[in-house]
Amino acid sequence: MWCLCLFLVIAELSLVSAQNCPRYWFRNNEESYCYRYFSGLQTWQKAQDICETYGANLASIKDESENDFVFKLQGYGCNNGIWIGLSDIVTEGTFKWFDGNALVYENWHVDEPDNNGDQDCVEIDGSRGVDYSKWNDAVCTDTKPFVCKWFLPL
Ligand SMILES: [Ca+2]
Ligand SMILES: [Ca+2]
């Protein structure tokens, strides 16, 4: 199922994305970033480490448009939970983007974040029906797909 989803999204985005991003990375309109979805399940820290091997970070999100773009990179109809670059690892209850961007937009599920069982890492949690693209704090050692975001020098 994942392979099919990924194929479909690549086919679709390749028609509309700018050509400046490397292969398998996709640009969100005129934003100066490229994004890539990784379907392999990783812990939050390992996912960040993998992003860094590309000179990227787990995705930060500044508005609803970017949130939808990041979530849909896994393919339309796919609703996996995916790690993004937000955590309250340093100070419980204070969420920060790993890439240093300011937290100017939040999109939590109802009653989240709840730190239930020491949850410090944030996913876009697609498992809750109509609220498919909203966020949940999850246990950092859970393994999930993830999205990296890479600054595209213009
Ligand atoms: Ca927490
Ligand atoms: Ca939670």
Task: Confirm whether 10 is domain-assigned.
Answer: no
At residue 3, the pLDDT reads 43
**6: in domain:** no
Buried b (16+ CB within 10 A) or exposed e, 29-54: eeeebbbbbbeeebbbbbbbebbeeb
The tokens of 140 are what? Answer: 């950092």
Residue 110 lies in a domain: yes
> What CATH number did the domain enclosing 99 receive?
3.10.100.10
Residue with tokens 């994942």: 2
Distance 22 CA to ligand 2 centre (A): 34
Entry pTM: 0.86
pLDDT at 38: 97
Total residue length of the chain: 154
Rg (the chain; Cα; Å): 14
- Is 4 domain-assigned? no
pLDDT at 1: 45
Residue 5 lies in a domain: no
Ligand in nearest proximity to the CA of 120:
1
Please give the pLDDT value at position 19. Answer: 56
Residue 48 lies inside a defined structural domain of this protein: yes
* Ligand 1 ion: Cβ-proximal residues, 5 Å cutoff: 88, 115, 120
* Tens digit of each residue's pLDDT, the chain (154 residues): 454 555 445 444 444 444 579 999 999 877 789 999 999 999 999 999 999 999 999 999 999 999 999 999 998 778 889 999 999 999 999 999 999 999 999 999 999 999 999 999 999 998 887 677 999 999 999 999 999 999 987 6
Q: How far is the CA of 135 from the centre of ligand 1 (A)?
A: 13
Cross-strand pairs, 121: 87, 138
State the residue range of the domain holding 82: 28-151
114 alpha carbon – ligand 2 mean position (Å): 5
- Contact by Cβ (8 Å): 151, 54: no
Contact 9, 75 (CB under 8 A): yes
CA of 68 to the centre of ligand 2 (A): 20
In a domain, 16, yes or no: no
Distance 54 CA to ligand 2 centre (A): 29
- Using alpha carbons, list the distances in angstroms from residue 10 to 27, 47, 56: 12, 21, 20
Residue 14: inside a domain:
no
Report the number of distinct structural domains present in the chain. Answer: 1
Nearest to 149 by CA among 80, 79, 47: 47
